Amino acid sequence: MNNKLLLLASLLLLQILACGSKPQQENTTATPATITEPAPAGNRLSMKINGVEWKADNEIFGAFHPKGYNKAIIIAGSKGPKNKDEQPFNINLYNVDGPGTYQIQTGNPDLNVAQLANLSPQNYLYGSMMGFNLKVVITKASTGPDEIEATFEGEMTGNAGDVLKITEGSFYYHE
């Protein structure tokens, strides 16, 4: 179990370091219009953060019991451009059978995690090892094709010690 925690912490650290790295030299050639991948129609991830709406606008993704994971449900999406200002959010539930209510918090034995990155340059990480306490209600979870519906609410602590109040969290994904 400690190896999983170490792997998760390492991946998160790499993400944080990548977000803080200097940009590559500017490319003057045209780039494809698919720099950010818009979510397929109907997929959505939104929440209120301290009363202010946050809505993913790309890379909305969900998975139910994907191969290689221990009965996992993955909820993910990003807001903003694919650069250091992108705000990725995810909730990963492990060792869950399907629909139900899950209270997840920092230090849980199944290594469930919730995290939001890059809310601002000073506040680059909320949740994960900084601290989180969320109630996640999975109302639909199926595979072939993957379809997940969920609501969530709770709190996430940031790297600066501040706490975000998450309300009206809503997720829908259908591949």
41-64: pLDDT as tens digits? 689 999 999 999 999 999 999 999
| b/e per residue 102-132 (b: at least 16 CB within 10 A) | bebebebebbbbbbbbbbeeebbbbbbbbbb
Q: What is the pTM of this model?
A: 0.76
Nearest of 86, 44, 79 to residue 61 by alpha carbon:
44
Say whether pLDDT at 19 is over 60. no
Mean pLDDT of the chain: 81
CB burial of residue 75 (10 Å; 0-12, 13-18, 19+): buried
Mean pLDDT computed over 25-30: 31
| pLDDT winner (highest mean) among 15-19, 38-42, 120-124 | 120-124
Which helix or strand (DSSP H or E) is residue 46 part of?
Answer: strand 44-49
Both tokens of 128, joined, read 């994960």
Please provide residue 104's backbone torsions phi and psi, each rounded to the nearest 5 degrees: -115, 145
Please provide residue 5's backbone torsions phi and psi, each rounded to the nearest 5 degrees: -65, -40
